[in-house]
Amino acid sequence: MMMYKTGITVGVFDLFHVGHLNLLESCKAMCDYLIVAVCCDDYVTKIKHKQPVYNEQDRIRLLSALKVVDKVVPVTIEEIENKLLLLKKHPFDCLFSGDDWKGSPRYQKTEEQFAKLGVSIEYLPYTKGISTTQIKNKLLGQKKTEEV
């Protein structure tokens, strides 16, 4: 397994769940220092067109309390969409992502940009059967059943 000095991973991490934990544990197993870049509330509402359940300060606090996480930083829409800006602000030698992003136009472009700079991208297995969206839907389903 490749070992990196500083790794970073980017995400919303709303309603923190075991899929998130699996990802972060896998990242930490591959780097000495793990930075988690947390998407700002504006990104969730304006770009993902969703309403975060936990605001960015709370998402940051929850992630900061994890022993596999060394540093948590908030990221802007611009930094999420252009990972070169992220690299400039928080230098790292590997960007980790769940493999649900592999092949997406944004990550393909980032792979090309990073290759020139000697920065790696590692895709880690996405945990099947759980996501923030699934949790929200499950809770909505339960609420409807309770109302009947």
Binding region for ligand CTP (CB under 6 A): 9, 11-13, 19-20, 23, 97-98, 100, 126-127, 130-133
| Beta carbon nearer to ligand CTP, 44 or 87 | 44
Residue in 5, 46, 48, 102 annotated catalytic: 48
116 is catalytic: no
48 is catalytic: yes
Q: How far is the CB of 147 from ligand CTP (least distance, A)?
A: 24
Question: Residue by residue, what is the 3-state secondary structure of 103-127?
Answer: CCHHHHHHHHHHHHHCCEEEEECCC
| Beta carbon nearer to ligand CTP, 84 or 121 | 121
Instruction: Give 18-22 contacts, CB < 8 A, sequence gap 24+.
Output: 18/127, 18/130, 19/98, 19/126, 19/127, 19/130, 19/131, 21/66, 22/125, 22/127
| Beta carbon nearer to ligand CTP, 33 or 126 | 126
Active site residues per annotation: 48, 50
